Structure 1
Amino acid sequence: MKIKFFWLLFFGLIIAGCKPTNPPDDPDDPDDPDDPPIVAVDSLGVSITTIAFTAGKDASLIVVRTNKSWTATKTADWLSLSATSGNKNTGFLVGASANDGLTRETTVTIRAGDKSKEIKITQASAPKMTITVKGVPVNMILVEGREFTMGSSEQSSYGLPHQVKLSDYYISETEVTNALWLAVKGSLPYTEHSEADKLTLPVSEANWNMVTGEFIPALNQLTGKTFRLPTEAEWEYAALGGKNTTGTKYAGSNTLDDVAWYLANSDKEKKAVKGKDPNQLGLYDMSGNVSEWCSDWYDNYYGFQIVNQTVVVPTLQTNPKGPDSGTKKLVRGGSSESDEMWGYSVCHVKYRHSVTPTGIDGCWGNTGNPQEPECNFIKFTGFRLVISAQNQ
């Protein structure tokens, strides 16, 4: 019996010795049962890697699933954490202060043992932001980009209809005023008269080269922002009223007198901004008062193909910026010297016009006649500003 027991014990030890042993913990192995990866879930128990906050004050719960104690850290001062450490399966609230500017992004990092997990946090742009330049406030309105039909088959001067998709951007509530130009440049661009006592009028007679080469760079230097002119597509979409559009032919109304200073009601003079009703986005004077520079070169068929003398409409253009070169720049919106006849006007939100970047051109349309004088075509041309909504 003793011999039998010995052999049973001997073979038992051999079998036990042949069983696999547990490997040591591997911090880089996500399947290691003794050290699983960190899992973050929301209040519904759904695993998360990102949190998207609204522009207002907002908060979200993060529950950390791990078998170890954990810590949480953040770098953005607009975020707050209700707890920065916890034991195993506990959680904390992430809070975001109200956003009064552009879209912003950051991360929250959770660590447990040798493992870490980052949660991407984004917060939407404010619906309106104000940037003050030497005491002059500049109100910027958020335009939520989407797909829309640019152009119209109603008139050839409106451009062929085609689909365009835009990203979010901000556009100034009004045209740039004499006050803002003076704050940035120190003097107004007029050579034959003074408007130093008319600071609420829109600035005009600044050619495209002056606006893009002098004023906007100086403004960006002062503010740390990246202002620019709107593209033609951005201008038209904003004039239409963006996502709030009701399809009016002028910027905010089918009745030009409601929303615009034009030849019949302006005495052919510029008027103070915000003197007429705004459009559906809260933008003033996008029809009338002064016409407005866009960033694009003018082209009748930009983005279109001409096949066998037939224009082929593109399926979709995303954030189009116009052709790389040209001789004239796009001008939109009409002005105080624009007329309305039989229900049509240059002030129509679809009407396309163009002027040389210097604003100077042949008075008779560049006939080639050596006697043709040169004219200034930008007495009633101004501009408004745009900033992309993504954080800069």
Structure 2
Amino acid sequence: MKRLLSSLLCLSVALVATSAASRCLAETVPGIASEKPAEGPFVKVDEGYMVPYTFRIPGTDQEIEMVPVPGGEFLLGSPEGEEDRSEDEGPQVKVTVDPMWVAKTEVTWGQYKEYMNLYAIFKDFEAEGIRPVNDDNKVDAITAPTELYEPTFTFEYGQEPEQPAVTMTQYSAQQFTKWLSLVSGQQYRLPTEAEWEYAARAGTKTAYSWGDSTDEIDDYAWYFDNADEGQVAVASKKPNAFGLYDMHGNVAEWTVNAYTEDGYASFAEKKNLNATDVVVWPEYPSPCVLRGGSWEFDPEDLRSAARLASDYEEWKVDDPNFPRSPWWLTSDPSRGVGFRIFRSYKPLGKEKITKFWEAQAEDTILDVKSRIDGGRGGLGLVDKDLPKAIEEAK
């Protein structure tokens, strides 16, 4: 009997400790609540409940809203009978998606300009010998985009804080997410194609998140027929069932995937696919995949499964630099190119997250090195102390 009572006591202590640890985690990790919310979206997880949260980018007045998206299984790509389907949207493959938070909107100019400002800051730091980058700490360094060669092109349709930011390269979007992660202490990144499509579909199997017909498209999307003056302020149409805005139209959104003409053929025979593994990592800067279509596109190009392949030869044709900028695009349709941030419920391992944050294409890596070595790029360390260092340097 004493042995039984002792065992029960130990079990009680263990349960209390586990409960306390869960409450502690819920109090310190953004987006985790220990109690079930009375209203609004949530996802039940081991530590409690994933809930919406808003965070301020440290050192700025800019805030980003994140929405919890439940995990599940779905078929990536479109069925053969879907109207306006392209061959590169198949074959369909079953994919498991883990719970994640997804930004409520695309990254805005208000948010992206804080990253753009780092170019001048990093150049000043370099000149003053502040927070120097060396072989021991360069793993925590990012590059900041150079000043725009032709701002009248990028900003022709506006640069209001609530408009989606546009004309950045995939690499620049990746570095934005690395900056955001290291300065905030949370792991933000671009999505894989599978994660993006799962979030866009919001549990549906239809061509669009609202159904197969385009009858309701004006309620949910900015596209060629209703947005002839460029990108429109985010969240000015209806959201999908997950509470995400502009997953169809406004601006096309970067993923980390290289574009493959044969769609998902390389994954067709594989089992137990996880969304973070359904990736063909880029060997070249282009073509890579954008999703969702933009304000310049027709309705069929806004379908949940529709893919857009980047073309840097065309999208940088007006760039006079050599090598051409690794951070900026200079030619249409790049004024319809933007991105959205994702965050996994369980952080990815160091090797994997590095692939999401850094260029994988050798040409891009060399172009960036050439720019930095030639003094035509901004390179700086990013950590939680960066905002304080910036403030002290003013």
Q: Normalised by the shorter chain, which TM-score bucket?
A: 0.5 to 0.7
**Judging changes above 3 Å, is the alpha-carbon distance between structure 1 residues 186 and 196 closer, same or farther for their aligned structure 2 residues?**
farther
Aligned with 2:50: secondary structure?
coil
Q: Cα–Cα, structure 1 residues 98 and 220, in superposed 2: closer, same or farther, change >3 Å? A: closer
- For residues 94-144 of structure 1, what are the alpha-carbon distances to aligned partners after superposition, in whole Å with 9 as ceiling and x for unaligned? x9769752489xxxxxxxxxxxxxxxx941342212111122221111111
Following superposition, the deviation at residue 248 of structure 1 comes to 3.9
Q: Where does residue 247 of structure 1 map in the other structure?
A: 205
- Partner of residue 52, structure 2: 128
Q: CA deviation at 1:298?
A: 1.5
Match of 1:162 in 2: 93
State the one-letter code of the partner of 2:186.
K
- Give the aligned partner of residue 297 of structure 1: 258
- The residue correspondences of 1:1-392 to structure 2 (distance < 5 A) are 38-40=6-8, 62=12, 79=23, 101-102=31-32, 122-133=46-57, 134-152=60-78, 153=80, 154=82, 155=85, 156-186=87-117, 190=148, 191-193=150-152, 194=155, 198-213=160-175, 215-241=176-202, 245-253=203-211, 254=213, 255-301=216-262, 304-305=265-266, 313-319=269-275, 320-327=277-284, 328-340=287-299, 345-356=300-311, 360=315, 375-390=331-346
The count of residues paired between Structure 1 and Structure 2 equals 283
AA aligned opposite 1:388: S
Structure 1: any 5+ residue segments left out of the alignment? Answer: 1-32, 42-46, 49-61, 65-70, 81-94, 105-120, 306-310, 364-373
The separation in 1 between residues aligned to 2:182 and 2:26, in whole angstroms, is: 29
Judge which range, 326-335 or 178-187, deviates more. 178-187
Tell me which amino acid in the other structure corresponds to 2:307.
R
| Deviation at residue 183 of structure 1 after TM alignment | 2.6
Superposition deviation, residue 184 in structure 1: 3.2
Residues 262 and 268 in structure 1, CA contact (< 8 A), matched pair in contact too: no
Q: Which amino acid aligns with 1:352?
A: R
Q: Is the 8 A contact 1:259 1:276 kept in 2?
A: yes
- What is the alpha-carbon distance in structure 1 between the residues aligned to residue 192 and residue 67 of structure 2? 16
Task: Give the % identical residues.
Answer: 25
Q: TM-score, normalised by structure 2?
A: 0.62
Greater helix proportion: 2
Higher relative contact order (CA 8 A, sep 6+): 2
Q: Which one has the largest radius of gyration?
A: 1
Offset of residue 263 of structure 1: 0.6
Structure richer in strand, relative to its length: 1
Cα separation, 2, equivalents of 1:313 and 1:234: 20
For the Cα contact (< 8 Å) 1:302–1:323, is it kept in 2? no
Gap change, CA 1:337 and 1:391, over 3 Å in 2: closer
Supply the distance in 2 between the matched residues of 1:377 and 1:357 (Cα, whole angstroms): 11
TM-score by length of 1: 0.62
What one-letter code is carried by the residue in structure 1 that aligns with 2:223?
Y
C-alpha separation in 2, matches of 1:209 and 1:96: 33
Residue ranges of structure 2 left out of the alignment (5+ in a row): 35-44, 119-144, 319-329, 349-394
Letter in 2 for 1:257: D
Indicate conservation of the 8 Å contact 1:136/1:180, yes or no: yes
Give the Cα–Cα distance (whole angstroms) in 1 for the partners of residues 179 and 13 of structure 2.
Answer: 48
Q: Deviation of residue 74 (structure 1)?
A: 7.5
Q: Is the 8 A contact 2:91 2:268 kept in 1?
A: no
* d(CA) in 2 for partners of 1:164, 1:74: 32
Distance 1:248 1:72 in 2: 46
RMSD between superposed Cα atoms in Å: 3.7
